[in-house]
Amino acid sequence: MTELTTIASLQCKQQVVRAVRFNVDGTYCLTCGADKKIKLWNPQRQLLLKTYGGHANEVLDAAGSCDSSQIVSCSVDKSVILWDVTTGQPIRRYRGHASSVTCVTYNEESSMAISGSVDNTVAFWDVISRRQEPVQVLKDAKDTITSIKVTDHEILTCSVDCHVRLYDIRVGKMISDYIGHIVTFGSMTHDGQCYVLSCADGSIKLFDKDSGELLNMFTGHECKDYMLENAVSEKDTHIISGSATGEVFYWDLISSNCTNKLVHTRNKPVVSLSHHPTENYLITACEDEIKLWGIKPAEE
């Protein structure tokens, strides 16, 4: 594995970047700031493309639609906002949650936005119609929803109540797994067979989706009280996670050995990170700065 280096470093001027997200094809990224704004960047060219202002409080998460025409974002102001990318205007504002909305994502076709909130609910928003109420609300969790991952027919929700819940639309079933620790972030491998859970005990656990068995555990990073995120490399070979120490850890998925450590900023937690969907690029956020990591294009 060739060495990953910082390709680009961007000062977002957003006080703190709460989340950084690649768009669907990885050409752009979104940063959600504590300054109530969302910024759309081209990280490769280090260009700020657009700023989306309209939230009344810190923006906690955002996601771009599959055609990159819309952005959905959620905020501490309890609202979920659907943005038009080109005009920068909010298209719809959903006010169904009773508390801060912590995470939001689109489904595969970007016809629904799914948001999780501190009010322990997961809400499905129909972004196609003009309906203002959630289409469905999942109330199974007994504590804050920390993250949501959506595949073509499944919704994985992680909650502070130490459970991971997998809702299978196809079967009409909800599988809840007791993890034993607060799950701060959940992602799925690209083959859809495993989920990778960042736990508050300072470990990342790899679970088999079908059996619910623990396949592997990745440790070495420092969690503290941060809601660290994780990512899976584009070829499912590595598990990536930030750390409170300001480093980014790469673990081999099979051997669970730490293969790489990228230093973003010493002793400043790397909370949010996002991996390029198809290529070996990683974007990490640490306080006000985001960094794009990758292999420098061969100049020679």
Partner 1 sequence: MSDSDSDDEPVIRYGTPLDPIEEDEIPSKRKYQEPADQYAVDAHGRRRFHGAFTGGFSAGHGNKVGTPEGWTPSTFKSSRSEKAQISSQRPEDFMDDEDRGEHGIAPRHMHTQSEFSGQKRRQRRFHDGPIPGEPVLEQLLKAVHETAAVKMLRAMGWRPGQGAGDRLTRADKKKAKKQHKVYGCYMPPEMRQENEGTADESEDSSDSEFEYETLFAPDDYEPYILQRKNDRFGLGYSGLSRHSVLGNLVGEYGADAGTSRSHLVMKEKGKKVSIRGQAFGVGAFEADDEDIYAMEDMSHYDFAIGGSAQEKKKAVTQGGANVLEGFVKASKPLPSVPAYPPPALPRDYVPGAATSSRFEPPGPSVKQRDQGLGRHELSAEARGALLGEAPVPKLQEQPIPPTPQPSQTTDDLIAKITGRNVNFVSTNEKPKELDFIPVTDSNKPVAKAFRPFMSDPNKQARYERYLKDKEGFASEREADMDAVSEWERNRELVEFEQAAKLYKPLTGIMGDRFTHASEPDDINPLTVVAKSSTNYGLATPEQIDAAKRGLYGVITRNEAKWRPESLVCKRFNIPDPGGPRPDSKSDDKPKVSYSIFSYLESSVHDKDSFTKEQTKFSGSKSLLNTPKPAQSNTKSDAVKPNDPIPSTSEENPTINKRITVAELFMKESEKAMENNKPAVAVTETIEKFDRMDLYKSIFLSDSENEDETPSTKPNDNSAEDFIDKPKNVERNLSPPRGIFANIDFDELNSWRRNAKTDKEEKADNKNNSKEETAKETQNNKEDTANVYGPQIPENLMKRLENNEEKRADDSFRPIFRKKTEKEVEIHEINSSSSEDSWVEAKDVKSKKVKKKKKKHKVKHKKSKHKKKDR
Binding site for partner 1 (CB under 8 A): 98-99, 107-109, 111-112, 118-121, 124, 126, 128, 135-140, 142-144, 152-153, 160-163, 167-182, 200, 207, 211-214, 217
Contact 65, 71 (CB under 8 A): yes
Q: Are 112 and 124 in contact (CB under 8 A)?
A: yes
Q: Of the two residues 255 and 267, which places its CB atom closer to partner 1 in the complex?
A: 255
Going from the C-alpha of 274 to that of each of 18, 86, 210, 231, the distances in angstroms are 12, 23, 25, 6
Distance CA 262, CA 175 (A): 35
Beta pairing class for 80-84 and 70-75: antiparallel
> Which residue lies nearer to partner 1 by CB, 209 or 275?
209
Round to whole Å and give the CA distance between 71 and 33.
15
Write down the least CB distance from residue 80 to partner 1, Å: 16
What one-letter code names the amino acid at 56? A
**Nearer residue to partner 1 within complex by CB, 108 or 279:** 108
Least distance to partner 1 from the beta carbon of 292, Å? 32
CB of 35 or CB of 177, closer to partner 1: 177
Q: How far apart are CB 188 and partner 1 at their closest, in Å? A: 16
- Report the nearest approach of partner 1 to the CB of residue 32 (Å): 23
Q: How far is the CB of 118 from partner 1 (least distance, A)?
A: 8
Give the count of beta carbons closer than 10 Å to the beta carbon of residue 40: 22
Our CB check for partner 1 shows the closer of 58 and 154 to be 154
Can you tell me the distance from the alpha carbon of 177 to that of 60, in angstroms, rounded to the nearest whole number?
25
